[in-house]
Amino acid sequence: MEGLSNSTTLLLEEIQQLRAELSTTQLEAQKRATELDKSEERLSLAMRWANDGLWDWNIETNEVYYSPRWKSMLGYEENELDNNINTWENLVHPDDKNMAIQAAQDYLAGRADSFEIEIRMSHKDNRDIFVLSQAFIVGREPDNKPVRLVGTHIDITERKKTAAFNNNNAKILEMIAIGNPASDIYNAIALMYEDRHPGLRCSMLELHGSKLMHGGAPSLPSEYCKALHGLENGPSVGSCGTSTFSGKRVLVENIETDPKWGNIKHLALPHGMRCCWSEPIKSSSGDVLGAFGMYYNHPALPNEDELNDLSSAARLTSIVMERDQAQKRIRALAYSDELTKLSSRAHFYLHLEAAIKTSSRYKHRFALLYIDLDGFKGINDSLGHDAGDLLLINIAKRLQSTCRDIDFIARLSGDEFCILISELSDNYTAANVAQRCLNTVSQPVELSTRKHTPACSIGIAHYPDDGNDLASLIKAADTALYAAKKNGKNQYAFYKPELTRQAEHRFLVEQYLREAIENQQLSLVYQPQINLKTGKIIGVEALSRWDHPILGGVPPVEFIATAERIGMIKPLTEWVLSTACQQAVAWKKEGFPVPRMAINISSSHFIDKEIVPLIKRIINETGITPTELELEVTESVVQTDPRNLSIFQNLKSLGIQLAIDDFGTGYSSFASLKHLKVDCLKIDKYFVDDMLDDEKALLLIGSMIEMGHQLGYSIVAEGVETSEQFYTLKNLGCDTAQGYLFSKPVKAQAIAKLIKNDYNI
Ligand code: C2E
Ligand code: CA
Ligand code: CA
């Protein structure tokens, strides 16, 4: 091209010279015209050969001669464009126009030595082409004012594209070199090739096993990419599924009709794609890593350029993909333990450090469980390392099953594991997980056809209580582990020994209580309630007792809370209801009827939808008269959902008596009681205790009694221990009293005796 441009320049100089020579005499006008015609003919020929367009602008008349090549370069026939300056003005890109005019003016005025500009011009088929425009002054007036400007147009669109492509290519290589994320590079590669071929859309898929995974496809609809993600490849799965399967290029001219697309064309057609060419992306050793796909919205096979680009795109992508996959493998190796697939020690330390940071910021606690298998060395020595490995894999799975998603579990080395437990509710959360670990690990396992029962020891440390940095925390957990081993293995220990004792006790209570409830080893005592006017026993409250051969007598407050925690409160209550109601019926049969049997119902159980059917069943099974049964619930049920309203109503319609227990200690008010159907308020012992020393307590009790009466409730005072309390309550108008003054809670036989003798009031 450069050689041609030189010859053009020479020709132009020749014309210039000719024109200068011819310009002087009129006589020579004829000759001049012929010469000019001739030279223009030669010039135009040369131009056509040189693939350049020619223009010749008469500045005075604004007539412009455009050569046929000039016009065809823009897609026009000879007769389609007028020979005037408007033609150029209409076709030049509006953003380039002023610059071009300015450059021409500068050159004509002598402010610039030459005229050479790059402009965009509009092609007839509506695309822009890049044009290099050069020009020379070829005629001047006697006063040296230029009158004609002759120039060439060269279509440099391809050259521009190549430059842009090379530029993009360099950018991509730079991205690879500095290690940008693979997905970013995939997108850049796609956009680069799409730039070169208007209408083209590219995609890169990675092959994982036999599944196609999304790599990059910035111009394809995300719905389509999602649909392809995870697709199994095969001998006839679209273009990319097939090319990754066969390892060979697959060119599909028409997605609609090609049998390879039969099963998945419904994914592509709605988005406009009509052809798809796919090149497998291969590693340096020839393994298929994925596929590069090119799509157009019309059926087509690639031309030579497109085919070249398809294979070069796949090659370029392979560099990125191979490196990315290698890095991922290395990372996975470093972060996970190859044998058990749990996190590695390195990963664990990173996680622990991050946990310390966030926990210190948000003032959270977390627990670290250090787990070590008991007697693992023996397995390795006696059954061999393969058996040892099998056991470790098995243990890893079991430990994992005890953890929640938010917990972090790692294998630190050999037979050592670690679990980081976040979001603790109390000290027992860690103990619970530890206990679950002990239980699951100690399930028998078959190793080399022999049954083996593994065991482990666990040390527990808390952040920040036992250490507030990585080293001190691990040391604390390790110390605790040592204590657990020393205590006889197959157990856990906290760093703080008192926590171990508390947790052990709690678990024992849970375990024994479960057995006690299942085997009905609890007992009931009854405490009389005395009518303050008559001295008669008008009812008893049934209270549970648990005497355990090892634990001794466990206070009801403790075992009731435990039963709620371990989900045993329902069977417990059921047993109490059934036993107490049977007792009431028995007393009646024996001839000393107790008018009312009061039974405590835990709030959580009371608001359960099964409570009403349960009470119905108890009434039927025991034969107790419903009006003789009273249920005591605390104020907390008054606070909760209005749905409880219907429970109160349903129980009332059975004829049951309802009492609010511990009244005055919760947050309910008379107002909130108003809409509940309640018969009785039991004023808490707390008020009775203070009543004689504290004016306010006395005032409060007085108002509670008065107010309660006005609302139609009967009032029971709890914990009455002295006769002063008794008289004061009587004077305040209290109906009933319950307390040690009359009787502690006693066995059923004792009640039978008490009931015969009224209290002397
Ligand atoms: P509560 O329902 O308020 O029962 C009254 C408690 O006060 C009983 O304690 C009783 O022994 C004690 N008491 C009665 N009079 C006096 C007194 O004059 N002086 C003193 N110092 N104490 C007195 P107990 O039996 O230890 O029961 C404690 C709590 O355990 C009960 O409080 C009740 O909330 C719960 N509870 C006991 N048995 C059951 C049961 O079968 N089911 C449910 N859900 N809770 C029960
Ligand atoms: Ca009670
Ligand atoms: Ca009470």
* Sign of the alpha-carbon dihedral angle for 300, 302, 306, 311: positive
Quote the CA–CA distance of 195 and 189 in Å, as a whole number. 10
Q: What are phi and psi of 480, to 5 degrees?
A: -65, -40
Which strand (E) or helix (H) includes residue 616?
helix 611-622
Query: How remote is the CA of residue 540 from the centroid of ligand 2, in Å?
Result: 10
Which strand (E) or helix (H) includes residue 129?
strand 128-140
Query: How remote is the CA of residue 636 from the centroid of ligand 3, in Å?
Result: 13
Identify the DSSP state of 5: H
Q: Work out whether strand 657-663 and strand 629-634 pair parallel, antiparallel, or are unpaired.
A: parallel
Query: How remote is the CA of residue 633 from the centroid of ligand 3, in Å?
Result: 9
**Dihedral (Cα; 482, 486, 492, 493), 10-degree rounding:** -70
Identify the DSSP state of 244: H
Residues in the chain: 761
Query: How remote is the CA of residue 320 from the centroid of ligand 3, in Å?
Result: 74
Q: Which ligand is nearest to the CA of 666?
A: 3
Query: How remote is the CA of residue 544 from the centroid of ligand 1, in Å?
Result: 8
Half-sphere CA count of 258, side-chain side, radius 13 A:
24
Could you tell me if 340 and 305 lie in one domain?
no
Could you tell me if 214 and 112 lie in one domain?
no
Which strand (E) or helix (H) includes residue 98?
helix 94-108
Q: Which pLDDT does position 19 carry in this prediction?
A: 53
Contact 708, 681 (CB under 8 A): yes
Quote the CA–CA distance of 68 and 61 in Å, as a whole number. 21
Contact 419, 399 (CB under 8 A): yes
Q: Which pLDDT does position 674 carry in this prediction?
A: 75
3-class SS of residue 455: coil
Cα radius of gyration (the chain): 48
Could you tell me if 412 and 484 lie in one domain?
yes
Q: Residue 37 domain-assigned?
A: no
Ligand 1 atom nearest residue 720's Cα: 18
Query: How remote is the CA of residue 552 from the centroid of ligand 3, in Å?
Result: 24
Quote the CA–CA distance of 100 and 129 in Å, as a whole number. 15
Ligand 1 atom nearest residue 556's Cα: 30
Q: Which ligand is nearest to the CA of 632?
A: 2
Could you tell me if 642 and 747 lie in one domain?
yes
Ligand 1 atom nearest residue 569's Cα: 44
Q: Which pLDDT does position 25 carry in this prediction?
A: 42
Q: Residue 31 domain-assigned?
A: no
Quote the CA–CA distance of 172 and 217 in Å, as a whole number. 16
Total number of domains in the chain: 4
Could you tell me if 170 and 149 lie in one domain?
no
Q: Whose CA is nearest to atom 4 of ligand 1?
A: 543
Quote the CA–CA distance of 633 and 529 in Å, as a whole number. 17
Identify the DSSP state of 287: -
Tell me the CATH number at 669. 3.20.20.450
Per-residue buried b or exposed e for 119-135, using 16+ beta carbons within 10 Å of the residue's own CB: bbbbbeeeeebbbbbbb
Quote the CA–CA distance of 392 and 411 in Å, as a whole number. 9
Q: Whose CA is nearest to atom 6 of ligand 1?
A: 719
Quote the CA–CA distance of 256 and 366 in Å, as a whole number. 59
Could you tell me if 614 and 701 lie in one domain?
yes
Q: Which ligand is nearest to the CA of 743?
A: 1
Q: Residue 219 domain-assigned?
A: yes
Regions of the chain short of the pLDDT cut 50: 1-4, 18, 22, 24-27, 29, 32, 38, 42, 45, 48-49
End-of-domain residue from the set 328, 363, 385: 328
List the one residue out of 459, 460, 430, 463 whose CA is nearest residue 357. Answer: 463
Query: How remote is the CA of residue 662 from the centroid of ligand 3, in Å?
Result: 4
Tokens of 673: 């009681």
Contact 326, 320 (CB under 8 A): no
Testing ligand 1's pocket by substitution, the residue of 517, 530, 559, 560 carrying the most ligand atoms inside 8 A of its CB is 560
Could you tell me if 320 and 229 lie in one domain?
yes
Domain coverage including residue 370: 336-495
The residues lining ligand 1, judged by C-beta closer than 6 Å to any ligand atom, are 527, 543-544, 555-557, 560, 576, 600-602, 661-662, 719-721, 738-740, 745
Cβ neighbour number for residue 106 with a 10 Å cutoff: 13
Could you tell me if 320 and 389 lie in one domain?
no
End-of-domain residue from the set 128, 155, 182: 155
Q: Cα 214 from chain centroid?
A: 19
Q: Which ligand is nearest to the CA of 602?
A: 1
Identify the DSSP state of 735: -
Q: Whose CA is nearest to atom 25 of ligand 1?
A: 543
Which residues contact residue 384 at a Cβ distance below 8 angstroms, ignoring those fewer than 6 apart? Answer: 448
Q: Work out whether strand 115-122 and strand 597-600 pair parallel, antiparallel, or are unpaired.
A: unpaired
Could you tell me if 412 and 470 lie in one domain?
yes
Q: Residue 581 domain-assigned?
A: yes
Q: Whose CA is nearest to atom 23 of ligand 1?
A: 719
Could you tell me if 358 and 490 lie in one domain?
yes
Query: How remote is the CA of residue 557 from the centroid of ligand 3, in Å?
Result: 11
3-class SS of residue 304: helix
Tell me the CATH number at 482. 3.30.70.270
Could you tell me if 88 and 234 lie in one domain?
no
Q: Which pLDDT does position 489 carry in this prediction?
A: 87
Q: Residue 29 domain-assigned?
A: no
Testing ligand 1's pocket by substitution, the residue of 520, 541, 543 carrying the most ligand atoms inside 8 A of its CB is 543
Query: How remote is the CA of residue 653 from the centroid of ligand 2, in Å?
Result: 22
Reported in sequence order, the residue ranges of 141-242 that DSSP labels E, i.e. its strands, are 146-155, 201-208, 211-216, 231-232
Angle at 88 between CA 82 and CA 94, to 5 degrees: 140
Contact 433, 341 (CB under 8 A): no
Contact 212, 244 (CB under 8 A): yes
Q: Which ligand is nearest to the CA of 556?
A: 1
Whether omega for the bond prior to residue 218 falls within 30 degrees of 0, making it cis, is no
Ligand 1 atom nearest residue 544's Cα: 38
Q: Residue 642 domain-assigned?
A: yes
Quote the CA–CA distance of 632 and 662 in Å, as a whole number. 9
End-of-domain residue from the set 281, 303, 328: 328
Ligand 1 atom nearest residue 557's Cα: 30
Tell me the CATH number at 100. 3.30.450.20
Q: Cα 60 from chain centroid?
A: 74
Q: Which pLDDT does position 189 carry in this prediction?
A: 96
Quote the CA–CA distance of 352 and 245 in Å, as a whole number. 43
List the one residue out of 120, 138, 114, 104 whose CA is nearest residue 11. Answer: 138
Query: How remote is the CA of residue 542 from the centroid of ligand 2, in Å?
Result: 8
Q: Residue 22 domain-assigned?
A: no
Q: Whose CA is nearest to atom 3 of ligand 1?
A: 662
Q: Which pLDDT does position 505 carry in this prediction?
A: 87
Which residues contact residue 635 at a Cβ distance below 8 angstroms, ignoring those fewer than 6 apart? Answer: 660, 661, 662, 663, 665, 666, 667, 668
Could you tell me if 147 and 166 lie in one domain?
no
Testing ligand 1's pocket by substitution, the residue of 517, 600, 661 carrying the most ligand atoms inside 8 A of its CB is 600
Q: Residue 501 domain-assigned?
A: no
Cβ neighbour number for residue 733 with a 10 Å cutoff: 14
Q: Whose CA is nearest to atom 17 of ligand 1?
A: 719
Tell me the CATH number at 274. 3.30.450.40
Query: How remote is the CA of residue 541 from the centroid of ligand 2, in Å?
Result: 7
Q: Whose CA is nearest to atom 24 of ligand 1?
A: 556
Query: How remote is the CA of residue 210 from the centroid of ligand 2, in Å?
Result: 67
